[in-house]
Structure formats: structure tokens, C-alpha cells
Amino acid sequence: MSKIKVGVVGTGFIGPAHIEALRRLPNVEVTALCEVNIELATAKATQLGIERPCTFEQLLAMEDIVCVHICTPNFLHYSQSKAALLAGKHVVCEKPLAKDLHEAEELVALAAETGLVNAVHFNLRYYPLVRQMKTMREKGDLGEVYSVMGSYLQDWLFYETDYNWRLEPDKSGDSRAIADIGSHLMDIIEYITGLKTVEVMADFNTIHKTRKKPLKPVETYSGKMLQPEDYADVPITTEDHANVLLRFDNGNRGSVTVSQVSAGRKNQLKLEISGGKKTFAFNSEAPNELWIGNRDGYNQSLMRDPSLAYPEASALMTFPGGHNEGFPDTSKQLFKEVYAAIAEGKQPEKPNYPTFADGYRELLICERILDSHRSQSWVKV
């Protein structure tokens, strides 16, 4: 089998997660690894067992590299995705697609013009029971969507000594919690329900107005602590916590809460979607179970099992019922669909996977949420 050669850019938390998922696809080979300089690229390539360390310019010049994964800080997504497309490479980009709508719109247009495969890593769509909910809604099992309640809670920025590049607007943008994890939540709500968010009302809060920035490197999620003299005080302008009211195009309502300072919540996305026939409840920290609520009968608990799910959801299940699948599997399943398109050499007319256009859509919603917070008013999307 001829393998599709891939280059990955960036080796923070998410870059190695992409690499691990890609290595589980039989027709893909992670061949090149790019970092900010060749010394770091060489060290990381050795650590991860990748053949070619390189700079970004060297990566784009490699004719046998078919696809590039952009896993760098937010402010680099636009320039690197654009350069990769112009070099004739298919692109998988981390979210957000860009720092502003103008950049995102340009990338959507360029991707369409080239016909190259383009995808955004909204991997949380790929929990099998998320697709089961979407399919049940499409088949009429849920009924008309009455309301949506969602939350995405983390605690990795709980202490004032917790620090990351995402706290710096020049690297991550003017929104943090909403742009970082709220984007996943807004994407998955529209994906499951088929509704469009048409108006938003937002209220943000910055718990730690000043944070202590480490003067020495500390890896994301490492839990390592430094001494008091190893920190510098930095003012914080982006949100730790956000509440957003939503209005949908069917006339009904929703609400979401996003927090990166909720002690004990490591990475919990929760949804409760109430329809005219049933209610769905899902928790990403227990992703192999879907609660189904009924008014006139027993409530149900559907365990992830390919023999019990609709075929559309079973397609995302590698293991039998009782053999749990989780976060790493979501990227594998997303990439499986992306690389089926890459094997064909072009973007499908109607891709199943999230595209640059989806990246633009979520950036638009996040921008309008930010506008709403600033104006303290309802804002149309």
C-alpha cells in the first residue's frame, strides 16, 4: 500500500495528539516534523520517532509531503494554512481557523479555489454517541428541538500561577475560554441539532485579573510548580468564565457556560438537548453512555455499541460494546474521513468532516459573542 506522507507543524499538547491518531491509520505516514527552529524540531523528531525534522519553509518544499497539519498557536494558523495551500498541500488546521473573520474568509476562498482537502480539528464531533444523537435527530427520534443547555468546564487555569500562551491576546486573540473550548461547544450544538444560532447575549468574567507568568518553561497540563521568584505579574484581559444565551433559527432558545477555572473539571463538555419527543444528555468525560429521557415511559441509557447504534454512528466505532473509546479515538475517526478524501485527491462536494467553512462559521459565532459581551446586548450572528 502506498502511504500518504504527512508533515506536522507544532509539538505542544495537540501536535503529538495528531501524530498518535495519524499513526493509527494504515494508509498514512507521519514523515516530517516542523518546529520554530531546526534544533527544537530535531529534538522533538527524535523523541517522537519521526524521520525528517525541518523548518516550515523546508516542509513546504518537500514534494512528497501531501498533507500538512497545523498544530501551532492561533496567530500562526492563517499564515501557515495559506502558505500550505499555495504550496499545493492539503491542510488540517487546529481551531480557531484564524484570528479574525477576514483571514478566515480568505482561507475559505483560497481552499475552494485550489480544490484541496481542507479540515478543521473539531474532533469532539467524532465521539460515536455525538453522531448517534445527530442521526437520531435527523431520523425524527428527537422531535423538534425545544431547548439546548451546554457547558464546557476545565480547571487547568484555576490558579493564578497557571499560565499558557492562550492568555496572551497577541497569540490567541481577544477571546480565550469561548474561542478555545467554547468553539467546540458551539460547533457541536449546531452539528447535532441542525439549527443555526441567530442571536447571542454574552457575559464574561476574568477571575484572575493578574496572573503570574513563569520565567521558566512549563508544559501545558504538566502540573509542575515553580518558586515565587520564577514568576512575573501579567495583567489578564481575556475571560476565564463566560455565560451565553442563544436564540436559534427555529425560534427556540439555549444557554451555554464555559469555564477554565472550575476545580476538578479536567475537560468536561456536557449537553442536554430537549426535543418534542425525547431529551438527550451527554458528558464527554463519560463518552460511552448517552442518556435518553422520555415523558411517558422509562428513561434509557444507551451504551456505545456498534450493534445497537445507527450505522452512521457505528462507522465511528472501532471496538465492540464494552470496550471503551475516548478522546484519542475522536481524532482518529476524523482523520479517517479526511484521508479518504485526500486519497481521492480533492475536497468532496459535501464532506462529512468539519471544513474551513465550518471554521469560519464558529469564528463568526465567537466574534459575535465577544461583540455581545462588549456591548452587553443581544447581537445577531
Q: Is the pLDDT of residue 219 over 70?
A: no
- Confidence grade of residue 171 (pLDDT, cut at 50, 70, 90): confident
Q: Is the pLDDT of residue 226 over 90?
A: no
Q: Is the pLDDT of residue 228 over 90?
A: no
Rg from Cα positions in the chain: 21
pLDDT tens digits for range 80-126: 999 999 999 999 999 999 999 999 999 999 999 999 999 999 999 99
Q: Which segment of 61-70, 77-86, 102-111, 228-237 scores lowest on mean pLDDT?
A: 228-237
Nearest to 347 by CA among 80, 24, 111: 111
pLDDT tens digits for range 304-316: 999 999 999 999 9
- Confidence grade of residue 56 (pLDDT, cut at 50, 70, 90): very high
pLDDT at 215: 83
Q: Is the pLDDT of residue 224 over 80?
A: no
Q: Which segment of 56-65, 140-149, 159-168 scores lowest on mean pLDDT?
A: 159-168
pLDDT tens digits for range 11-48: 999 999 999 999 999 999 999 999 999 999 999 999 99
Q: Report the relative pairing of strands 145-153 and 268-275 from DSSP bridges.
A: antiparallel
Q: Is the pLDDT of residue 375 over 90?
A: yes
Q: Is the pLDDT of residue 227 over 80?
A: no
> pTM value?
0.93
Question: Buried b vs exposed e over 317-332: b needs ≥16 C-beta within 10 Å?
Answer: beeeeeeebebebbbb
Q: In this structure, what DSSP letter does residue 180 have?
A: I
Q: Is the pLDDT of residue 223 over 60?
A: no
Name beta bridge partners: 241.
Answer: 205, 259
Q: Distance (Å, rounded) from C-alpha 61 to C-alpha 52?
A: 13
Q: Is the pLDDT of residue 72 over 70?
A: yes
Q: Distance (Å, rounded) from C-alpha 197 to C-alpha 182?
A: 14
Mean pLDDT value of segment 208-237: 79
Q: Distance (Å, rounded) from C-alpha 208 to C-alpha 206?
A: 6
pLDDT at 266: 96
